[in-house]
Structure 1
Amino acid sequence: MSKFIDRVVLQVRAGKGGHGCVSVLREKYKPLGGPNGGNGGNGGDVILEVDANVHTLLDFHFHPHAKAGNGKPGEGGDRDGKQGEDLLLKVPDGTVVIGPDGDVLADLIGAGTTYIAARGGRGGLGNAALASRARKAPGFALLGEEGEESEVVLELKSVADVGLVGFPSAGKSSLVSVLSAAKPKVGDYPFTTLVPNLGVVSSGDTTFTIADVPGLIPGASQGRGLGLDFLRHLERCAVLAHVVDCATLEPGRDPVSDVDALEAELAAYKPALAADAVLGDLADRPRVVILNKADVPDAAELAEMVSADFAGRGWPVFTISAVSREGLRPLTFALAEMVRQYREAHPKAAPTRPVIRPVVRGDSGFRVERDPELEGGFIVHGERPERWVHQTQFDNDEAVGYLADRLARLGVEEQLAKLGAESGAPVTIGDVTFDWEPQVSAGVDMVMTGRGTDPRLDQTERISAAERKHASRARRGLVEEDEVVE
C-alpha cells in the first residue's frame, strides 16, 4: 500500500562548473601557436516540474537528497568541457516550494510548470578566452564555480474544485466513492481517512474535481487532530461542502452545532499564499450543506428539522444518502453549476507568447565596510568580487594579478583608498583575506615574463610605471632596450 506524503524537506545541490584549461598550441613549424585551453562546462541545474501523473511527494520522502551533474573541465585544442546534466524532479500539481527562512519561493500549478531550485555553477574560462593585448599567452585559467546548495520544503496543496469538510465518520469518503470512480477506504470508525482523496465528477457538460479532506474537529486550526496537516488542502477549493452526519449517536452533537464548530475553524485558518488568498479566506468561500445518511429514519426526520436553519443562512441544502444514493443527482448538478459560475468569474489567463530574456546572475555592485574583527581591515561584499575570488588559483601569481586587475576595474581599489586603507591592510573577500597593495593597478602594459608569474606581485623587484611603459615601447621597437628611463 503506497503512502501519501504531502510535506517533505529536500536537500538540493546543483552541479559544479568545470575548471578552465591552460594549454599552448605545440605543433611543428608553429613555435608561437598561442593559447588553446578550452572553457569548463557549466554545472547542471536542479529543476522541479509538475507532472499530472504524480500525486504524492513519496519519492522525496525516501530520497531527500537531490544533486545535479558536474561540468567537465576544458581541454587543450580549444575543446570546451561537457555541460553537467540537469536533474529533473517530477512533483504533483499544487506543490509549494518554501525556502529555509519560510519564504514561499514558488507555487507550482499546472502540468509542465517548472522552477529551478538550484542553479549550476558556471565553468571557468580557459587561457584561450583570457588572452588579451596585455596577456598574449596566459599561464592560468579560471576555476569553475560551486553550484547552489540549499534546503527547501515541498508542501502539497490539493487542486480541487469542491472540498468536503465534516466531522470524522460523516460519510465524506462514501460520498466521493459514489460520485466518482475514486475508491477511498471506508470504515465505521473515526479517522478512517488519513489522507486526502480526489475524485473526478462529470455532470452534463461540466467536469470538476472533488476532494475528501480527513475529518476535522474543534481546534484543527491550531493543529489539533489532523489539524493543519490537511486544512491547507482546502485553500484552493472554490466551493466548500459541509457533510453532516444526521445519524450520529454521540451526546452533545447535532447538525447545527457540528457546522458551527467547523465554521469557527475555517474562519480561524488563513491561507499561507497570497495567490490562494485571492479566493478569499476559507470563511468567505461559497457553501453547500449536505445532510447525509437519510436512509436512517431518525436521520431523515432530523435533516428535515434543521434544513430551514441552514437555508436561512443562504446556503443550499441537500438531503442525501451515500448508501442508497438518494438525492445525489440534484446535488451533483448543483455543485457543477457552482463550479461553472466560479470558473466564469475567474477565467484562466490566456497563454501568452514566451519572451526570452537574458538571465540575470547576481548584482554587479559591491560595498566595502570596515572589518570589526581585524584592526585596520576591510570587508568587500558583492556577488561579482566574491565569485572572482572563488575562480582564482592563488598559487599562480599571474592569476592573482588578473584578479587584482578585475577588482581595480570594478572600483574596489578606489573605494578602499577613499575609506583610508593603507598598504598592507587586511582585506577580506568571501572566505579569502589578503594584504592590500595599492601599487597593483589595472590597465598597465605587462612586462613579458614566464607564464604563471606577474612582476607586479614581486615584492623585491617592483618596477615603476615608467619602466613598464619603457619595456612596452622597447618590445614594439620604438626605443632601444638599453636607453635610460627618465
Structure 2
Amino acid sequence: MSKFIDRVVLHVRAGKGGHGCASVLREKFKPLGGPNGGNGGNGGDVILEVDPNVHTLLDFHFHPHAKAGNGKPGEGSNRDGKQGEPLLLKVPDGTVVVDKDGMIVADLVGAGNQYIAARGGRGGLGNASLASKARKAPGFALLGEDGDERELVLELKSVADVGLVGFPSAGKSSLVSVLSAAKPKIADYPFTTLVPNLGVVASGDTTFTVADVPGLIPGASEGRGLGLDFLRHLERCAVLAHVVDCATLEPGRDPVSDVDALEAELAAYKPALSADADLGDLADRPRVVILNKADVPDAAELADMVTSEFTARGWPVFVISAVSRAGLRPLTFALAEMVLQYREDHPKAAPKRPIIRPIAVDETGFSVIADPQEPGGFIVRGTRPERWVRQTQFDNAEAVGFLADRLARLGVEDELVKQGAVPGAPVTIGHVTFEWEPQISAGVDMVPTGRGTDIRLEQSDRIGAAERKHASRVRRGLVKEDEE
C-alpha cells in the first residue's frame, strides 16, 4: 500500500574535496626536475530538483540520509583528481525547504527548478599550482575541504488551483472523484481521507487542478485533528470551495455554522513566507460554497433555506449531488472562470535575475576580535583565512610558512598589531589556535624571515650542474664513469 508523506527531515552531506599532490619530477641527471603534483577534485554537490513525476516525499522518509561523492586526490605528472559525483534528488512540485533554524531557504515550484542543498568541498591545490618565483619547488600541497553537512526539513505544499474545504464526510473526496479521473478512497465514516487527493478537471478550454484537504475541524489551526498537518496544502490554492454536508444528522451542526467554524480556522492559520507570499492570507482568497447531498429531500430543503445567507456574503452558491451528479456542470464552469480570473489578477512573476555585487577594493574579507574566553587572545574570522587553515598540513613546516605568508599578505598580522597583540598571544582561526609570532616589520622591530623559500632548488641546481659536467667528461673519455 502506497503512503503519502508530505514532511520529512533530510540529512545531506556534500562530497569532500580531494587533497592536492606534492610530487617532484624525476629525470636522469635532474634529481629535482620541478613540481608536478596535480590538484584534487572538487566534492560533489547535493541538489534538489523538481520532477513532475514525483508526488510524495516517501523516498526520503525511508532514506533520510543523502551523501554526494568525494573528489579524488591529485597525482604526479600534473594529473588532477576526478570531480566527485553530484547527487541529484528528485522532489515533488511545491516542495519547501526549511533549515534547522526554521527559515525557508528554497521554495521549489516548477519542473526542473533546482536548489543546491549542500555544496561540495574544494579540492586542494597540488604543488605544481603553488609554485612561484619565490617558491619554485614547494614541498607541500593543500588539503581538500570538507563538503557542507546540513539538516533540512522538506515540506510539500500541493500545487492546486481549487482547494476543497469541509468537515469530515462532507463529500469532498466524492466530488473530486466525479469532477476528475482521480479515485480516492470513499467511505461513510469520519476521517476516511488521510491524505490530500489531487485531480485534474477539464472545463472547455480551461484545465485546472482540484484538491480535497482532509482533517479540518474546529481547532485545526491549533493542531486538533489532522488540520495543522494539511492546512499548508491550501496555501497555493487560487480558490477555496466550502463543501457543506446538508444531510448531516449531528446535533448542533448546520451549513452556516460549519462554514463559520472553518472560516475561523482559515483566518487563524498564517502561511509561512515563501515564493507565493504575494497570494496573501487564506482569508483573502476567492470563495465558493458547494451545498452537497442535494439528492436527499431534507438536504435539498435545507440548501434552499441557507442559500441566501451565503449569497449575502458575496459568495457564489451551488447546490449539487456528487452521487447523482446534479449541478456539477455549472459548478465546473464557474470554478474554471474563477481560476482564470485569479490567474489574470496574479500573473506568475518572471524569474529574478541574479544580482552581482562586486567586492569593494578595500574589502579585506576578515575581522579580528578579542577572544572572550582567552584573556589577551584574538579570534580571526573570515571566509578566506578559515578556508586557508582548513587546507593546511600542520605537520609540514613549509606548508605552515605558506599559510603565514598568505595571512600576512591579507593583512591579518597588521590588524593584530593594531589590536594590541603581543608575541605569544593565542590567536584562533577556524578550528586551530596557535601562539602568534609576528614575522612582518609593520609595527614591530623584527626583520622579515623570507618564509616559504626552498633551498632544495639551489642545492639541486648545483648537484645537477655537477652531474652534467661529470657526464660530459665521461663522454669525452677524460674520466671513467665510476670516478669522481
**Normalising to structure 1: TM-score of the pair?**
0.89
Q: Which amino acid aligns with 2:154?
A: L
Q: Which residue of 2 aligns with 1:131?
A: 131
Q: Which residue of 2 aligns with 1:449?
A: 455
Q: Which residue of 2 aligns with 1:111?
A: 111
Structure 2 distance, partners of 1:255, 1:377, is: 71
Q: Which residue of 2 aligns with 1:480?
A: none
What stretches of structure 1 move > 6 A for 4+ residues in a row? 354-360
Q: 1:356 to 1:128 in 2, by over 3 A?
A: farther
Q: Which amino acid aligns with 1:257?
A: S
CA RMSD, aligned part only?
1.9
Q: 1:15 to 1:378 in 2, by over 3 A?
A: same
Structure 2 distance, partners of 1:276, 1:349, is: 10
Answering whether residue 285 of structure 2 is matched by residue 285 of structure 1, we say yes
Q: Deviations over 1:64-123 (max 9, x none)?
A: 000000000000000000000000000000000001100000000000000000000000
Q: Report deviation, 1:369.
A: 1.3
CA contact under 8 A between 2:197 and 2:211: conserved in structure 1?
A: yes
Structure 1 distance, partners of 2:83, 2:64, is: 24
Structure 2 distance, partners of 1:445, 1:401, is: 6
What secondary structure sits across from 1:275 in the alignment? coil
Q: Which residue of 2 aligns with 1:482?
A: none
Q: Report deviation, 1:350.
A: 5.2
Give the unaligned 5+ runs of structure 2: 442-447, 458-484
Q: Which residue of 2 aligns with 1:460?
A: none
Q: Report deviation, 1:349.
A: 4.0
Q: Report deviation, 1:424.
A: 1.1
Q: Deviations over 1:219-260 (max 9, x none)?
A: 001111102100000000000000000000000000000000
Structure 1 distance, partners of 2:356, 2:401, is: 34
Structure 1 distance, partners of 2:452, 2:94, is: 58
Q: Report deviation, 1:411.
A: 0.8
Q: Which residue of 1 aligns with 2:7?
A: 7
Q: Which amino acid aligns with 1:114?
A: Q
Q: Deviations over 1:284-322 (max 9, x none)?
A: 110000000001000001001111110111000000000
What secondary structure sits across from 1:278 in the alignment? helix
How many pairs align? 448
Q: Which residue of 2 aligns with 1:321?
A: 321
CA contact under 8 A between 1:134 and 1:445: conserved in structure 2?
A: no
Q: Which residue of 1 aligns with 2:430?
A: 430
Identity of aligned residues (%): 83
Q: Which residue of 2 aligns with 1:159?
A: 159
- Give 1:27-66 correspondences, 5 Å limit: 27-66=27-66
CA contact under 8 A between 2:167 and 2:215: conserved in structure 1?
A: yes
- Give 1:231-250 correspondences, 5 Å limit: 231-250=231-250
Q: Which amino acid aligns with 2:42?
A: N
CA contact under 8 A between 2:398 and 2:452: conserved in structure 1?
A: no
Structure 1 distance, partners of 2:405, 2:329, is: 78
What secondary structure sits across from 2:455 in the alignment? coil
Structure 2 distance, partners of 1:344, 1:175, is: 26
Structure 2 distance, partners of 1:386, 1:156, is: 36
Q: 1:337 to 1:223 in 2, by over 3 A?
A: same
Q: Report deviation, 1:278.
A: 1.4
Q: Which amino acid aligns with 1:72?
A: K
Q: Which residue of 2 aligns with 1:405?
A: 405
Q: 1:232 to 1:334 in 2, by over 3 A?
A: same
- Give 1:269-308 correspondences, 5 Å limit: 269-308=269-308
Structure 2 distance, partners of 1:377, 1:137, is: 35
What secondary structure sits across from 1:146 in the alignment? coil
Q: Which residue of 1 aligns with 2:462?
A: none
